[in-house]
Amino acid sequence: MSQILSGITIRDQILSELKPRVAALSRPPGLAVVLVGHDPGSEVYVRNKIKACADLGIHSEKIAPPEDISTDELLAIVQELNARPDIDGILVQMPLPKQIDSRLILETVAADKDADGFHPTNVGHLVAGRPAPRACTPAGIMEMLRRYGIDPAGKNAVVVGRSDIVGKPMGLMLLHANATVTICHSRTSNLAKECRRADILVAAIGRPAFVTRDFIKPGAVVIDVGMNRIPNAEKGTRLIGDVDPAAMMEVSSAYTPVPGGVGPLTIAMLMTNTVELSERRQRTSV
């Protein structure tokens, strides 16, 4: 029978370990979340992030500028947060409205306040294997593998998806853990065949139930990053991952459910990044 890899269990472990670290600091860590507009999914994510901060004793601020804000106006908000000594981490919730230069905004967040791990400097540190904030979702997946005793070393790992947020950093983290890594994407030839080589398969392609039984090697560990809402007669919509759930349960040796798998880990690792940034800042300011 396949093992369920519970993100809720791992999240609770991570958060409980952070509490004494927060209590040991001379002041609470500070996290600023910038939410532009009223995207329903983003609003839910931000609300959950602020709740996690409150539970840990982290000071959080939500900045909610209007949807028609210009790039220059948003840059000014970010620069002000960069200058504030009580703010250790800054998160700009994506996606931003179309008139905003998203890349410029993310690059303006100070690298030493980059709670999401997206700044080019921190991506460079990831490539080089140096300590720095890591992209939260793949970092959470690595924590889950570690805590469940799943060692990537020597294994074939296939990542489906090449986004800057999940696919690329996931591939690098698995490589640093001594896996043999293949990153697949929309132009990959014979995608199912590539995926069937995987001892560890990470699906982050953004298509509901796209990864079917033909993609999964018997006994593989399957990590489903997908969060897709599809119509449902009873509830209006239901949440489904990028992997066909029945195939994942029946063919894999272990898998992450949707919901309750990867999702809870993203916020846990955001909290970890914020605490580590605060520890570093408070250490150097003494």
Instruction: Pick left, alpha or beta for residue 209 (phi over 0 → left; psi -120 to 50 → alpha; otherwise beta).
Output: left
Which of these, 17, 75, 92, lies nearest to 275 by C-alpha position? 17
Residue 217 appears among annotated catalytic residues: no
Catalytic residue among 49, 113, 155, 168: 49
Partners of residue 201 on adjacent β-strands = 158, 222
Cα–Cα distance, 85 to 30 (Å, whole number):
9
Catalytic residue among 88, 114, 116, 244: 116
Residue 116 appears among annotated catalytic residues: yes
**Residue 60 tokens, joined:** 């959080």
Q: For the chain, report the end-to-end CA distance as a whole number of angstroms.
A: 53
Residue 93 appears among annotated catalytic residues: yes
Rounded to 10°, the helix 263-284/136-147 angle is 100
Catalytic residue among 93, 155, 168, 224: 93
Rg (CA), the chain: 19
Cα–Cα distance, 75 to 103 (Å, whole number):
11
Catalytic residues: 49, 93, 116
